[in-house]
Amino acid sequence: MSNRISRRGLIGVVGASTALAAAKAPAIATPDADKVGFAVVGLGKLSLGQIIPGLKVAKGAKLAAVVSGHPDKARRVAAENGLPADAVYGYDDYDRMAKDPRIQVVYIVLPNALHADHTIRAFKAGKHVLCEKPMATSVGDAEAMIAAAKAAKRRLMIAYRCHYEPLNLDIMRRLRDGSLGKTRLVNTTMGRQADLAEPSDAWRLDGLMSGGGALADMGIYGVNAARYLLNEEPVSVRAWAQTDRTDPRFKTTEDLIDWQFRFPSGVIANGSTSFNYAPTMGYEVICERGRLVADPAAFYGGNRLTVVQGGQAQPPLSLPPNDQFAREMDWMADVVRGKAPMVSPGEEGLQDMKLMKAILDSVARDGATIATDWGYRRAYDPAVVVDLPRSA
């Protein structure tokens, strides 16, 4: 795998999981005229490679507009996707969306430091918002986004696609049914090699733009995974960092960060992230009578699960390929229609923002224990309410 690979370029081939009974009926394709319209804000790699293609196969969502600071690029993308000229927006006329009934949801796919401003502007325009993670670069901005949603009486969803991804849902359900006994330990490892020559990496290595370098870009997957795997919240964290300040990539962010969450059930979750180690997005859950090894666990495709019991690894089971982004956006569309509960609300993003701040606070205090029991409890367990696909 190339060292120039980005988080949003970690694309595999075929998902692996087991199909369980659906808690929510599988989505049925909606006539195009009745689909929920999405405006995609930012036309970088993720939008062009995953989000817009996902909207083409989504059952209840569709592309209604594009927003970009590059007019020629925006017009080209719009034309390629059959959008009229008036469905092309720039950041200077962003607020014109208030008068566009074709748009119900604005999907924010911008550098992290721009999330809060464009989210709040979308709410002022009367639109619902799906925002990429991390939701912001500070706890204060995340709280402002949630307040803006409430003031506008609109919905804010954070793009935690693993909440809707079949392999992760399967693992959550295995842990809930207790077939391997009590969970004792979770280990998450999320990182890659970053490259300043890549424009998309340059801002991720900028502390002000990213809000935390590798931790905000890759580590958030491990922070969130420990929480959704266990369906509980950590009560404390300790963390340490190792950063070579002579490396030009790490002038304003930490490199290797390792943390340890303690959960009320007694489970310990170890996590690490780095922009200077071999690409990996995996985790391991160790239970009393077996292990669940997901490696990779959070690619756009090709995620694999190995179940180990009695020292023997079982062959992985597979599902037909599925589009994770289509599933995520279809869920948001159903939330807007009042047909599905909000599984990944702004409060979920805020919890991760607070936990990442606690990690960095502990790093700054050389591994001091930071209390993290702020009272947050998720309203809906993805393992209970999110369906697994029954066909491709």
Together in a domain, 102 and 218: no
- Residue 29, burial from CB neighbour count under 10 angstroms (0-12, 13-18, 19+): exposed
Let me know: does 352 contact 372? Beta carbons within 8 Å: no
Together in a domain, 208 and 304: yes
* Contacts for 153 with CB less than 8 Å, ≥ 6 apart: none
Domain count, the chain: 2
* Contacts for 324 with CB less than 8 Å, ≥ 6 apart: 54, 161, 164, 165, 300, 301
Query: 261 in the Ramachandran plot: left (φ > 0), alpha (ψ -120 to 50) or beta?
Result: beta
Together in a domain, 189 and 243: yes
Residue 164 annotated to the active site: no
Together in a domain, 249 and 371: yes
Flag whether 10 is in a domain: no
In angstroms, the Cα distances linking 94 to 35, 68, 74, 294 are 22, 9, 13, 41
Q: Read off the CATH number of the domain in which 144 is found.
A: 3.40.50.720
How many Cβ atoms from other residues are within 10 Å of residue 161's Cβ?
20
User: Alpha-carbon distance 387 to 367, whole Å?
Assistant: 40
Together in a domain, 244 and 101: no
The first and second tokens of residue 85, run together, are 């000229």
Together in a domain, 142 and 198: no
User: Alpha-carbon distance 308 to 162, whole Å?
Assistant: 22
Together in a domain, 104 and 214: no
Q: Which residue has the tokens 């954070």?
A: 158
Residue 251 annotated to the active site: no
Flag whether 326 is in a domain: no
Least Cα distance to 114 among 209, 40, 199 occurs for: 209
Flag whether 224 is in a domain: yes
Flag whether 14 is in a domain: no
- The parent domain of residue 90 ranges over 20-161
pTM listed for this prediction: 0.91
Flag whether 391 is in a domain: no
Q: Read off the CATH number of the domain in which 365 is found.
A: 3.30.360.10
Q: Among residues 131, 161, 191, which one ends one of the domains?
A: 161
Q: Among residues 106, 133, 161, which one ends one of the domains?
A: 161
Of 107, 221, 283, 300, the catalytic one is: 221
Together in a domain, 219 and 126: no
Instruction: Look at residue 68 in the predicted model and tell me its pLDDT.
Output: 98
Together in a domain, 151 and 177: no
CA angle at 168 for the pair 164 and 174, rounded to the nearest 5°: 120
Q: Among residues 128, 161, 194, which one ends one of the domains?
A: 161
Together in a domain, 148 and 171: no
Flag whether 251 is in a domain: yes
Flag whether 3 is in a domain: no
Flag whether 47 is in a domain: yes
Together in a domain, 197 and 237: yes
User: Alpha-carbon distance 55 to 330, whole Å?
Assistant: 9
Let me know: does 280 contact 352? Beta carbons within 8 Å: no
Let me know: does 195 contact 275? Beta carbons within 8 Å: no
Of 89, 133, 283, 300, the catalytic one is: 133
The first and second tokens of residue 174, run together, are 């295995």
Together in a domain, 209 and 356: yes
Tens of pLDDT along the chain (392 residues) come to 333 333 333 323 223 232 333 334 445 667 788 999 999 999 999 999 999 999 999 999 999 999 999 999 999 999 999 999 999 999 999 999 999 999 999 999 999 999 999 999 999 999 999 999 999 999 999 999 999 999 999 999 999 999 999 999 999 999 999 999 999 999 999 999 999 999 999 999 999 999 999 999 999 999 999 999 999 999 999 999 999 999 999 999 999 999 999 999 999 999 999 999 999 999 999 999 999 999 999 999 999 999 999 889 888 766 668 899 999 999 999 999 999 999 999 999 999 999 999 999 999 999 999 999 999 999 999 999 998 775 43
Collapsing DSSP to helix, strand or coil, 227 comes out as helix
